[in-house]
Amino acid sequence: MVLDILAYDFMQRALLAAIIVAITAPVVGVFMVLRRLSLMGETLSHITFAGVSLGVFLNIFPLWSALVATVLGSMGIAKIRQSARLSGDAALAVFFALGLGGGIVLLSLSRNVAVSLSSILFGSVLLVGWEDIFVISGTSIFTLGTVFLFYKEMFYVTLDEDLAKVSGLPVNWFNYLLSILAAIMIVAAMRVVGILMVSAMSVIPTLASMQLSRSFRQTIFLAMFLAVISVFLGMFIAFYAAVPPGGTIVLTTVSIFFLTVAAKTMRRKPNVKTS
Amino acid sequence: MQPVVELKDVDVAFGSIHVLEDITLTVEEKDFLGLLGPNGAGKTTLLKVVAGLLRPYHGTVKLFGEDIAKSTLRSKIMIGYVPQRITLQSQNFPTTVYEIVATGRISRENTFKRLTEEDHQKIEDALRFVGLYELKSRMAGELSGGQLQRIFIARALAGEPSLLIMDEPTSGIDIGSQVAFHSLLDRLNKEQGLTIMMTSHDIGAMSHMCTKVACVNKKLFFHGLTEDLFRGDILSKVYGYHVHPIFHEEHLM
């Protein structure tokens, strides 16, 4: 019965796409959460919406236009944050509104009726084709490869920007890199859970992992593991309950988060500190 | 001998507020320089200028004879920097003591490379030096303020710095930990010949530890040997009111 789900080609593709995203999204999510940039993911996902709408409007493959728009948006946010002309939150609010407003206008101007708003907002993992999987795999390899190459530097900048600067690291460059990786991850994850829930794929597994992990490295691997579990469970529930998988994946992730919080609360002992 | 730090006519301002004016200061090799001054006097700003975190709008800053505004200097000369407030952004930052100390071995030069056996040896040596090797697998959020401070000292030492810069490293630490900490700094300076710059409000402790003292309150009021600090009314001029230091035996090491 469990393997029934794999009897369908579309389910195989959906599961493959979702697992690739589940492995990649938390790797970027760990750095975003610890740098207090969780809201940036939400904002970028709305810029992704504008990018998808632009692709639909221009009649080009939407993931490509979304990728370009989101990467440019992420660099714009990073630039504004660094120049301190606007506070971090204010910059995000502007781009959030721009993405949503621009996206809805472009989509309504488009005559391509085949694209449904709900599939953009809530995901359409069951409709992923091989071109989608090609894009998702490419972006995942790029993201994981980049983090592997710059792991220790990205950890250092996340731990303390000033200390990293004193060591001569190009901190601004790493800030741009993280923004770009976040943008790429969001475009990849959008097809699975939709833009409204996309940051949940990166942020919530990270938060769950942080409840249990005993090192930074362990946080990353545990978050990946929990995200993959969420995807498996979410897809199975969606398949047998006949509900949208984007929603069940996110709900499973949130449930796992609450379980980890409960587990941490139960195992917590009196915190005795010594000098 | 080449000075470690040379500041010449340094002015720093944040917008229209002048924080440092006309600071000319030299730190020689093996100096242990204490920076004294009231809150808001510009001590932290001065250390950040030396560390390359802030740029003066006027004047020059040289480390080992080279202008720090120029090129690749910081990738060659390792500065050990211990900031004023170590918060780890939040107490939930999921990292171990070892992972923190390991960042002391990261520089622009070893980008793309894994840490080597030698790097790991230096990290363990630094942890042993501060007496916290046994806690290397402990999560940073489980440490006390004093332990965390020593971890960040170990982090700075792991990079084998030529200059150690510390901003109020003993603030918020109990007296017992402070005495141990002062003894640690004494060993670093006297036994290993490390050049140290440090700010503190503890005039008594500074007068016993530091070989030289600089008194700053926007301008440099005094820079010289520690024993000369209490001649005249230098401290009263710096702090703007009468200062009469009382020395405690705990600080006599």
The DSSP secondary structure of A222-275, one letter per residue, reads: HHHHHHHHHHHHHHHHHHHHTS-HHHHHHHHHHHHHHHHHHHHHHH--------
Give the range among A36-40, A99-103, A104-108 with minimum mean pLDDT.
A36-40
Percent of chain A with pLDDT over 90: 40
Model confidence at A2: pLDDT above 70 = no
pLDDT at position B253: 43
- Model confidence at A269, pLDDT cuts 50, 70, 90, reads low
- Please give the single-letter amino acid code of residue A273: K
Integer angstrom CA distances of residue A152 from A37, A146, A148: 19, 11, 9
Beta-carbon count within 10 A of B199 CB: 24
> Which domains occur in chain B, in start order?
1-30+39-75+201-253 (3.40.50.300)
pLDDT at position B41: 86
DSSP-derived pairing of the beta strands B79-82 and B66-67: unpaired
Query: What does the pLDDT average to over B195-223?
Result: 86
Number of H helices, E strands in chain B: 8, 10
Query: What does the pLDDT average to over B39-52?
Result: 90
Rounded CA gap, A89 and A42, in Å? 12
The answer to whether the beta carbons of residues B104 and B156 sit under 8 Å apart is: yes
Give the range among A1-15, A28-42, A255-269 with minimum mean pLDDT.
A1-15
Rounded CA gap, B184 and A14, in Å? 59
Averaged pLDDT of chain A: 87
pLDDT at position A188: 85
The answer to whether the beta carbons of residues B207 and B245 sit under 8 Å apart is: yes
Integer angstrom CA distances of residue A266 from A212, A260, A270: 12, 10, 11
Q: Considering only residues 150 to 189 of chain A, which have any Cβ-Cβ distance to chain B shorter than 8 Å?
A: 150, 152-153, 155-156, 159-160, 162-170
| Chain A hits for B70, Cβ within 8 Å | none
Model confidence at A203: pLDDT above 50 = yes
Select the more confidently predicted residue: A4 or A178: A178
DSSP-derived pairing of the beta strands B219-225 and B212-217: antiparallel
Record: contact B142-A271, CB cut-off 8 A = yes
pLDDT at position A92: 84
The answer to whether the beta carbons of residues A229 and A256 sit under 8 Å apart is: yes
Cβ-Cβ contacts under 8 Å between A and B: the total is 94
Record: contact B106-A153, CB cut-off 8 A = yes
> Which domains occur in chain A, in start order?
8-260 (1.10.3470.10)
Query: What does the pLDDT average to over A16-38?
Result: 91
Residues 6+ apart with CB under 8 A from B225: B211, B212, B213
- Model confidence at A241, pLDDT cuts 50, 70, 90, reads very high
pLDDT at position B197: 95
Record: contact A218-B174, CB cut-off 8 A = no
Q: What is the dihedral of CA A212, B120, B136, A225, to 10 degrees?
A: 10
Model confidence at A100: pLDDT above 60 = yes
Rounded CA gap, A124 and B221, in Å? 69
| Chain B hits for A152, Cβ within 8 Å | 102-103, 106, 114-115
Model confidence at A274: pLDDT above 80 = no
Instruction: Please compute Rg for chain B using Cα positions.
Output: 18
H helices of A59-168, in order, are 62-83, 88-109, 117-122, 130-149, 151-159, 161-166
Select the more confidently predicted residue: B251 or A219: A219
| Chain B hits for A167, Cβ within 8 Å | 74, 78, 103, 106-108, 159
Q: Does A274 touch chain B (CB under 8 A)?
A: yes
DSSP-derived pairing of the beta strands B17-27 and B195-199: unpaired
pLDDT at position B135: 94
pLDDT at position B130: 86
pLDDT at position B67: 86
Instruction: Give the closest residue to A243 by CA, choosing from A235, A253, A252, A231.
Output: A235
Nearest to B75 among A160, A168, A271 (CB): A168
What one-character DSSP code corresponds to residue B14? E
The answer to whether the beta carbons of residues B4 and B27 sit under 8 Å apart is: yes
Q: What is the pLDDT of residues B155-201, one digit of tens each?
A: 999 999 989 999 988 776 677 777 877 888 888 898 888 999 999 88
pLDDT at position A275: 47
Helix, coil or strand: residue B213: strand
Q: What is the pLDDT of residues B96-145, one digit of tens each?
A: 999 999 999 998 888 888 899 999 999 999 999 888 899 999 998 888 87
pLDDT at position A156: 94
Residues 6+ apart with CB under 8 A from B6: B25, B26, B27, B60, B61, B62, B63, B65
Q: Does B107 touch chain A (CB under 8 A)?
A: yes
Record: contact A165-B79, CB cut-off 8 A = no
Record: contact B52-A166, CB cut-off 8 A = yes
Q: What is the pLDDT of residues A138-172, one digit of tens each?
A: 999 999 999 999 999 999 999 998 899 998 899 98
pLDDT at position A151: 95
How many whole angstroms from its chain centre is CA B4? 14
| Chain B hits for A150, Cβ within 8 Å | 111-112
Specify which of A75-79, A123-127, B136-140, B246-250 reaches the highest per-range mean pLDDT. B136-140
